[in-house]
A and B are shown apart, each in its own frame.
Chain A
Amino acid sequence: MQRIGVFVCWCGSNIAGTVDVKAVAEALRSEPGVVFSTDYQYMCSQAGQEIIKEAIKEHKLTGVVVCSCSPRMHEATFRKTAQAAGLNPYMVEIANIREQCSWIHKDMETGTQKAIILGRAAVAKVNLNAPLIPGQTPVTKRALVIGGGIAGIQTALDIAEAGFPVDIVEKKPTIGGKMAQIDKTFPTLDCAACILTPKMVDVAQNENIRIFSYSEVQEVKGFVGNFNVKIKKKARFVKEDVCTGCGICTEKCPQKKVPNEFNLGMDNRRAVYIPFAQAVPKVATIDADYCTMLKTGKCGLCAKVCTAGAIDYTQKDEIIEEQYGAIVAATGFNPISLDKFDEYAYNQSKDVITSLEFERLTNAAGPTAGKLLRPSDGKHPHTIVFVQCVGSRCAACADKGKEYCSKICCMYTAKHAMLTRDKYPDTDVYVFYIDVRTPGKNFDEFYRRAVEEYGVHYIKGMVGKVSPQGDKLMVQASDLLANKQLHIEADLVVLAAAIEPDKSARSIATMLTASMDTNDFFTEAHPKLRPVESPTAGVFLSGTCQGPKDIPETVSQASAAAAKVIGLLAKDKLTSNPCVAHADELMCNGCSSCANVCPYGAISYIDKEFRMPNRTTAIRRVASVNPAVCQGCGACTVACPSGAMDLNGFESAQIIAEVDAICR
């Protein structure tokens, strides 16, 4: 028989306001096994913990029930308290009478009754608790960063700087991400490439960093400290270690009509290409969808001109297997498709462009060598209309847009408007907005400069229609402050398209068993207090895969994620959770039901010799759980048809006892 102590917490007025804590302590005193019961204002405080320790010693307690807040909050605290008093920490149970009781009830009587029932269930469970000893698992001291944009780059550099090896997996042929496509950065207007490319070079030169470019994560197995990852290195038909990046093949390739994705399809590249001059790694890639040699077997020009002999048409996809202690998701974002926003005529006119296309049009390395020219006729536009919130903050159009604010558009539009007026003072620039949102260091000052010094026409209101007429774009919009309708004859319309997580994020989240929100942004472990960790242990979040962010914020978060990874990799061993499944081999018939439902691949089968009647033996196939891989989810215990599977700390008998106590 256990000797159980019950400790009811007031949590100030959080619990005591709707639950009669004294009545709860009193009622639970007479439960089976309970030898001590008390209440206190703040059980988690130093003084409260002392009460528990004293009681354990004085009453020789073998089990403890704390009626308090959610176990997610203070289970660890009270387990440590019990341990300090010499009790096995797994002999402590929490009855959640705050989140699941006092906070959701208004009536004192109902609240008190429910608290008693919850406490009773916890007591019933502790009666069946057994001491558990956690195991230890080693930590693989290597990190994986998925995504090589500025977020992935910063995280990798910081981890490498602390002395741990890092691998970056990037699906494109080069790292750099969206920032490499951007012209200038707000609010300082320094050139994006000038501050990004040195970092890319640092990555390439850092001994602790390996870059797997043109590669994708294919499979993730294992758990915190011991992830086993398969990476698919896609065939680029160029030997990476031989290619010198001279670029001759990209000049000689006869297939000239491939839309250049780096310039968003506004010009063409060859079938063999290097995305941009400062690409890292600076090696060529052959686009198998367009290469004549790979499609028909006739051509081979690039191989002929390559003095290094790097071209290899027979290259195959390669699978690399590697162990990691921690994984960082840095999968980034994309602007949404504007196919469903035809009121802005994006698909009808070449002169209606997105803001990212505008970045390329003003970039010296872009399709117009930095001259702002209309895509349709190459003429200089004299009237430019910027439309903000295209698909953002669009609760009414959730079927095609996003409900959230994309956060970065107000600032980059102010930047575009200002730079246009600075470089081309003969241009009239209009910006249509719902609200101008510029919180951030030196952000509002920047926007005010666009309005006051550069004479950009900021108009509160939305554009209703863009209608191409001849070589003009007729823009119909409302001015909400003047309360009138505007008709503007524009030469160029720039749409600030909402941003959304990269499409690959969902499959990566599935592989990592990391959770996502309804918009496919990764969910953080706690929105305020654990913003760079995923709820899945060992998985960390960097950059816009967690939510819309500008570059300064992305870099801060990337470094924060790196700090968390370093903290993990610095440990030699991790304490593992002893609440794992185990099979009763005598009851198991080896049917595989449990292995089929196990999301972690923790269950395998072994052939075991059993003693049978009349001194005979028999070999039977039975389930065997790898306690290091098992996460204690309990799926197998439900699936097992013979009841052989059970979960330490949550045994079927304990759950039934809880239910019985509730129904009593």
Chain B
Amino acid sequence: MKVAYFPGCTLKTKAKELDRYARKCAEILDVSLEEVEDWQCCGGVFTTSRDEVATKLSSVRALSAAKKNNNVLVTVCSACHNVIKQTNYAMQNDAEFAQRVNNYLGKGEEYDGTTEILHYLELLRDKVGYDNVAKKVINSLAGKKVAAYYGCLLLRPNSVMHTDDPENPTIMEDLIRALGAEPVIYSERNECCGGYITLENPEFSALRSHKVTESAYNSGADLIVTACPLCKYNLEKNGSPIPVVYFTELMAEAFGVKEDANA
């Protein structure tokens, strides 16, 4: 299976493990991730101001570039995914916005909104299938209690994202189960970590992050997995009592391709 792949800036700097293991595991699962040529930053946030077109152009270019790869664009960072998916939704449902965006693009490069945008987790669940993921497990993670941390960007707004039920998500728990580990359900798994507020009000962000890590820890988790570099940053910076890793690292460990077994 060949799909277009949008790594995003953070994955080239702070979140290299998220990217590296996403690629390694994809190879094992016979998925060819074709990195979009000359991709640019997604913008980091989907701005809701009505006249913001420029910040959305890079997303649209990435979506348009997926035409070469079965019209499927795969992301792995929750934030990139949220921005690109919301942009795609706007392109499909807001004719005026779509027109203005297309005016910026070159002749013949107009984007019609037909690219399917999938988060890596959705790729695993819907295209590869968790039963096929389970078949590739070499090091079973049996006995490991793993808390999936969704944060907010992966699930919300649900009317656009449709990733999973925002109050009762199972997409990461099902992956954890497929890898042989035991998922831990805890109440704060779909709450916000504080996000970018950490820049101007770090106390608030610390409060949010504490709630999450404490809830996971008290529910008996050994480990938190996430798909979001910002979540990982906030949870770790605010002193999580248990390790926080990317879900791709956990998968790499199960597949036997993890380079450093300390995490």
What residues make up the interface of A, taking CB atoms closer than 8 Å to B?
339-343, 345, 348, 465-470
Contact = CB atoms under 8 A, between A and B. Distances in A.
B167 A467 contact: no
B187 A340 contact: no
A172 B167 CA distance: 34
A340 B167 contact: yes
Given A345-B187, A348-B185, A348-B187, A467 B215 contact: yes
B168 interface: yes
A469 B214 contact: yes
Nearest to B188: A467
- Which 6 interchain pairs have the tightest Cβ spacing? A467-B187, A342-B168, A342-B167, A343-B167, A345-B187, A468-B187
B159 to A, nearest CB: 9
Contact of B218 (A342, A466, A469): A469
Interface in B207-224: 211, 214-215, 218
Contacts of A468: 187
Contacts of A342: 167-168
A342 B189 CA distance: 11
B219 to A, nearest CB: 8
B35 interface: no
A211 to B, nearest CB: 41
Contact of B168 (A339, A466, A469): A339
Given A340-B165, A340-B167, A465 B191 contact: yes
Most buried by B among A341, A342, A345: A342
Contacts of B167: 340-343
A348 B215 CA distance: 12
Contacts of B218: 469-470
Interface string B193-216: 000000000000000000100110
23 contacts: A339-B168, A340-B165, A340-B167, A340-B168, A341-B167, A342-B167, A342-B168, A343-B167, A345-B187, A348-B185, A348-B186, A348-B187, A465-B187, A465-B191, A467-B187, A467-B188, A467-B211, A467-B215, A468-B187, A469-B214, A469-B215, A469-B218, A470-B218
Interface string B151-188: 00000000000000101100000000000000001111
Contacts of B165: 340
Contacts of B187: 345, 348, 465-468
Contacts of A339: 168
Given A340-B168, A342-B167, A469-B214, 13 more contacts: A340-B165, A340-B167, A341-B167, A345-B187, A348-B185, A465-B187, A465-B191, A466-B187, A467-B187, A467-B211, A468-B187, A469-B218, A470-B218
A345 B167 CA distance: 10
B240 to A, nearest CB: 16
Most buried by A among B167, B191, B214, B218: B167
Contacts of B215: 467, 469
A341 B167 CA distance: 7
Nearest to B187: A467
A316 to B, nearest CB: 42
Contacts of A467: 187-188, 211, 215
A343 B214 CA distance: 17
Nearest to B185: A348
Nearest to A470: B218
Nearest to A473: B187
Nearest to A464: B191
A396 to B, nearest CB: 9
Contacts of B186: 348
A345 B168 CA distance: 10
A169 to B, nearest CB: 37
Contacts of B191: 465
A340 B191 CA distance: 16
Contacts of B168: 339-340, 342
A341 B190 CA distance: 13
Most buried by B among A339, A465, A470: A465
A142 B188 CA distance: 58
A465 B215 CA distance: 13
B144 to A, nearest CB: 21
B70 to A, nearest CB: 30
Contacts of A341: 167
A128 B70 CA distance: 64
A388 B108 CA distance: 55
Nearest to B165: A340
A99 B246 CA distance: 64
Interface string B70-105: 000000000000000000000000000000000000
Contacts of B214: 469
A343 B187 CA distance: 7
B112 to A, nearest CB: 29
Most buried by A among B187, B188, B218: B187
A221 to B, nearest CB: 43
A342 B218 CA distance: 18
A468 B214 CA distance: 11
Contacts of A340: 165, 167-168
A469 B211 CA distance: 10
Contacts of B211: 467
A1 to B, nearest CB: 61
Contacts of A469: 214-215, 218
A624 B75 CA distance: 67
B156 to A, nearest CB: 12
